């Protein structure tokens, strides 16, 4: 029973970077993974691409042959993939039980109101994949109340269309501070508990009370479903990646299985035992990336330098011991 992540999100939200980071992180903790590119417009992938949809169809070809622009082109290309889905099924067979990260295209309609991607995901489920959707949304949207409402709606719509275990993730959290002070603490945005507090800020941003009723209705709609919440991610930060992978493992059932057999390494056990939870609470994340970002950056650099010096010292000692061993065996031999 192979596991897989379907990485979706609007253009530029960090999907390909996330796939590269997660692939690297997984290999560092002893988990085998493959990255499959499903974006026909992805001409330079920042990861070793195990299977590439561009071998089947590319955006340039579709645009040239059908006189389409880039947006229509991507939709057409995905319909082409849906029609030739056996190409994908056959390509995936070579990976057996390996964990797969699918890097998806960024066109929003593909995961809000178009069926091809959904149908392709259904085919993957039929192949036995345990899927989790990772929906990345750029955290800079938190700096504007109306943009925040937009990402809530996008997240809700994709959850309803795709109908799979689904984790919404605020990406690029390391940049959040540079977008100016937020109206609320981070947990207000991640927990989506009482959106009525947002209403005065929305009216202020819109510069007119005429949308008040509409704003209220949208907030009630999102809260009424009670589905949307967010995790956070700074892709270069190990604690952030650890926490997110644990959430994904629980959502997809990986955490409860025996996918890695009895010979679990220390990292595998640590992941199962929720090691990252100690560093993963939203209050900690707010402190790390918003309230005291500079202090934490400095602390981490100093800690890394200290570790580096210790590693170098250990390496020198080991070299010296090896040289001494060699000398004494030479003397014995001579
Ligand atoms: N600071 C920071 N930058 C990031 C992070 N994740 C992604 N980026 C940057 O955001 C930009 C876009 O990232 P991509 O991974 O190409 O985004 P994408 O969603 O694959 O984009 P499309 O394929 O065009 O839809 C790149 O310059 C990345 O380096 C992050 O966590 N922090
Ligand atoms: Mg990409």
Which of 13, 14, 169 has most ligand 1 atoms within 8 Å of CB, for mutation? Answer: 14
Please, is 181 exposed, middle or buried when counting C-beta atoms within 10 Å of its C-beta (0-12, 13-18, 19+)? exposed
Distance in Å, CA 331 to ligand 1 centroid: 59
> For each of the chain's 334 residues, which pLDDT tens digit applies?
799 999 999 999 999 999 999 999 999 999 999 999 999 999 889 999 999 999 999 999 999 999 999 999 999 999 999 999 999 999 999 999 999 999 999 999 999 999 999 999 999 999 999 999 999 999 999 999 999 999 999 999 999 999 999 999 999 999 999 998 999 999 999 999 899 999 999 999 999 888 999 999 999 999 999 999 999 999 999 999 999 999 999 898 887 765 554 445 556 666 665 555 545 577 788 888 888 888 888 988 898 888 889 889 999 999 999 999 888 888 776 5
Using a 6 Å cutoff on CB, does residue 15 contact ligand 1?
yes
If you measure from the C-alpha of residue 14 to the centroid of ligand 1, how many angstroms do you get, rounded to a whole number? 3
- Name the residue at shortest CA distance from atom 25 of ligand 1: 11
175 lines ligand 1 (CB under 6 A): yes
Beta carbon of 234 within 6 Å of any ligand 1 atom: yes
Question: What CA–CA distances, in Å, run from 111 to 13, 105, 135, 159, 253?
Answer: 14, 9, 10, 9, 23
State the pTM of this model: 0.85
Residue 266, pLDDT score: 54
Determine if ligand 1 sits within 6 Å of the CB of residue 174.
yes
What is 245-265 written as a DSSP string?
HHHHHHHHTGGGS-TT-S---
Sign of CA dihedral 200, 206, 207, 210: negative
Q: Give the pLDDT of residue 272.
A: 62
DSSP codes of every residue in 248-317: HHHHHTGGGS-TT-S---HHHHHHHTTTTHHHH-HHHHHIIIIISHHHHHHHHHHHHHHHHHHHHHHHHH
pLDDT at 254: 85
| pLDDT tens digits along 141-158 | 999 999 999 999 999 999
pLDDT at residue 261, as a whole number: 43
Distance between alpha carbon 98 and the CA centroid of its chain, in Å? 18
Encode pLDDT of 268-302 as tens digits.
Answer: 666 665 555 545 577 788 888 888 888 888 988 89
Q: Does any ligand 1 atom lie closer than 6 A to the CB of residue 17?
A: yes
11 Cβ inside 6 Å of ligand 1: yes
Nearest one of 106, 82, 85 to 18, comparing CA atoms: 106
């Amino acid at each position: 029973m192979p596991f897989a992540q379907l990485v979706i999100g609007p253009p530029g939200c960090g999907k390909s970077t996330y796939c590269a980071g997660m692939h690297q992180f997984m290999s560092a903790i002893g988990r085998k993974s493959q990255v499959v590119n499903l974006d026909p417009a992805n001409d330079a992938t920042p990861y070793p691409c195990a299977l590439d949809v561009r071998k089947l169809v590319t955006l340039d070809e579709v645009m040239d042959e059908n006189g389409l622009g880039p947006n229509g082109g991507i939709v057409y290309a995905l319909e082409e993939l849906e029609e030739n889905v056996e190409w994908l099924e056959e390509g995936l067979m070579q990976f057996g039980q390996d964990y797969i990260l699918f890097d998806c295209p960024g066109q929003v309609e593909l995961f809000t109101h178009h069926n091809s991607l959904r149908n392709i995901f259904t085919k993957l489920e039929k192949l036995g994949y345990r899927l989790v959707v990772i929906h990345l949304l750029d955290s800079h949207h938190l700096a504007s109340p109306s943009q925040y409402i937009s990402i809530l709606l996008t997240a809700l719509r994709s959850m309803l269309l795709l109908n799979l275990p689904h984790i919404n993730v605020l990406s690029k959290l390391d940049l959040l501070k540079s977008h100016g002070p937020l109206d609320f603490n981070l947990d207000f945005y991640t927990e989506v508990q009482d959106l009525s507090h947002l209403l005065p800020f929305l009216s202020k941003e819109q510069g007119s009370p005429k949308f008040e009723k509409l704003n209220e209705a949208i907030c009630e709609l999102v809260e009424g479903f009670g589905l949307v919440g967010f995790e956070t991610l700074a892709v270069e930060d190990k604690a952030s990646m650890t926490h997110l992978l644990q959430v994904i493992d629980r959502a997809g059932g990986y955490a409860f299985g025996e996918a890695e057999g009895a010979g679990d390494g220390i990292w595998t056990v640590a992941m199962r035992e929720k090691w990252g939870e100690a560093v993963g609470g939203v209050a900690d994340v707010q402190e790390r990336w918003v309230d005291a970002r500079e202090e934490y950056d400095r602390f981490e650099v100093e800690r890394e330098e200290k570790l580096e010096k210790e590693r170098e010292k250990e390496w020198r000692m080991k070299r010296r011991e090896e040289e001494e061993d060699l000398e004494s065996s030479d003397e014995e031999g001579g």
